[in-house]
Amino acid sequence: MNVFQKYKSIITKFSYREENIKKILRIFDGSGESQIITNEIIPSSFRIKEFLILSNEMERALNIIHNKLREIEENNEISSANMFYFSQYGGSKTQFLNLILNEVNNEIPNCICVLFEDLSRIHPIIMFEKIFNQIFNIITKNPKLMESEKSINEFSNNLRQYIGEVQVAIQQSSNLKKVEEILNELMKIRNPEMKRKINELDKLLHSTILIDSVVILNKIIQLMQFCTQNGIVFLLLFDEVDLWLDEQSEELKFSDNFNRISNLMKILLEIPDNKVKILTIFACTERVNRLFQTSQHILEGRSTVTSRLNRIFNNAEKILESGSYGLKIEDALIRLAAYYHLTNNRLKIENKYFENVIPVLEFKYKPYSRRMANSKIIQLLNYYKVLSEPLEIGLKNWEKDTLRYGKLIENNISIILKNLTINFVRKDVPVDPTIEYSRDKIDG
């Protein structure tokens, strides 16, 4: 299939999905409300990968994830696995993690997925909500539980018990926070003796809250153990792993935000030790890879959580994805041009456009991050629209309004050519007033 045929096939596929494509094109352009394509944006009968341009490494990573989850699910000897996914800034790491969620939900129905978008989202209550929202949907598809009414009732009763314990722990945490607010108000009391006792209570309270988060997480792990015993596997995804590290430091140094939750992180990283079937994926840039490679001795001796991370890194599957379109820059142009056509009043894009633009993209934009390449491609399509519409109208109506359309072309062509790194210099050519020019000859 040649370039123009690929372009036409994409248009045909999404021909009646203009509203969805508008949102998706704005995401590629960086101007949408969302920065990534999610289940909520695409039509229900489609998958996220149908709207993306996947590199060979992305395809390989998806295959590995699928195989690892199947292996963990079916093999009693293997209970866990880890993957580090490396890509440059602007290389669509967050988009890739959401693609994984979409693929796993479609391919492995008995897998509970938990995505931590950043450090602030690594919290037991958030984790419980994500598990809770998926667990009942998975139960209804589990043939092991559907065998008899007795097994369903037994499972339901045990599940209620585990969920109830987590909810009680969460409620206790909520109550403790309310107590903290009351104590903060009482701090305004001037009586020295009362103030001293309030300070003692405050210290006890804060130590209790710290333990309380750990208690909630341990209760959640008990729930995960129970799910594993009933044929459910887990997928944990950590985005923005770069933010675990101090951005200013050239050596491997964890950020203050990471250190604040190091107790929770330690327990999260030790989940496989608790007989929970789980695959964990860490998404980060090459900087994290370099720091792990060069700071093994520092990690081992710094703390239990860094030591654990070091061992996970050493044994993990590693995917080094460029973060750029590379050789698939042509596919990116074809797909974005098709989306542009559908969302711009079916703008006519000729095969000649692809023939002229593809060499420019391959020469200049192959190593650009996907985010930057998307922006440049859409910019070129905008220029094409600005130039092609006046040209098309002008050539049809040239004799009616020669001066108007000539000015329109003259005003736009230098800007467009300049952005294509083509130097355009206007040169006025004297015209002999005695010579009659036909409509096919344009002065200048």
Q: Is residue 23 pLDDT above 50, yes or no?
A: yes
- Write out the two tokens for 52: 């993306």
What's the whole-model pTM score? 0.79
Domains of the chain: 1-30+331-444 (no CATH), 54-320 (3.40.50.300)
DSSP class per residue in 87-109: --TTS-HHHHHHHHHHHHHHH-T
Q: Identify the pLDDT of residue 411.
A: 75
pLDDT, mean of residues 387-398: 67
Query: 366 exposed, middle or buried (CB, 10 Å; 0-12, 13-18, 19+)?
Result: middle
Among residues 117, 98, 103, 90, which one has the least CA distance to residue 62? 103
CB 278 within 8 A of CB 271: yes
* 245 or 266, higher pLDDT: 266
Dist CA 438 CA 400 (whole Å): 13
Dist CA 178 CA 57 (whole Å): 49
pLDDT classification of 164: cutoffs 50, 70, 90 = confident
Cα separation of the two ends of the chain: 40
Phi and psi, residue 43, nearest 5°: -65, 150
pLDDT classification of 211: cutoffs 50, 70, 90 = very low
What percent of the chain clears pLDDT 70, i.e. is strictly above it?
Answer: 81
CB 199 within 8 A of CB 189: no
271's CB contacts (< 8 A; 6+ apart) are 80, 221, 224, 234, 236, 278
Measured between alpha carbons, how far is residue 235 from residues 5, 275, 279, 281, 370 in Å? 39, 14, 5, 8, 26
pLDDT classification of 136: cutoffs 50, 70, 90 = confident
Q: Identify the pLDDT of residue 391.
A: 65
Q: Is residue 13 pLDDT above 90, yes or no?
A: yes
Least confident of 133-147, 310-324, 327-341, 344-358: 133-147
- Mapped to the 3 state alphabet, what secondary structure does 4-48 carry? HHHHHHHHHHCCCCHHHHHHHHHHHHCCCCCCCCCCCCCCCCCCH
Q: What is the pLDDT of residues 59-87, one digit of tens each?
A: 999 999 999 999 999 888 788 999 999 99
pLDDT classification of 101: cutoffs 50, 70, 90 = very high
Measured between alpha carbons, how far is residue 146 from residues 131, 134, 142, 154 in Å? 21, 17, 6, 11
Q: Is residue 233 pLDDT above 90, yes or no?
A: yes
Query: 283 exposed, middle or buried (CB, 10 Å; 0-12, 13-18, 19+)?
Result: buried
Dist CA 206 CA 44 (whole Å): 46
* 381 or 289, higher pLDDT: 381
* Cβ count near 121 (within 10 Å): 15
* 421 or 218, higher pLDDT: 218
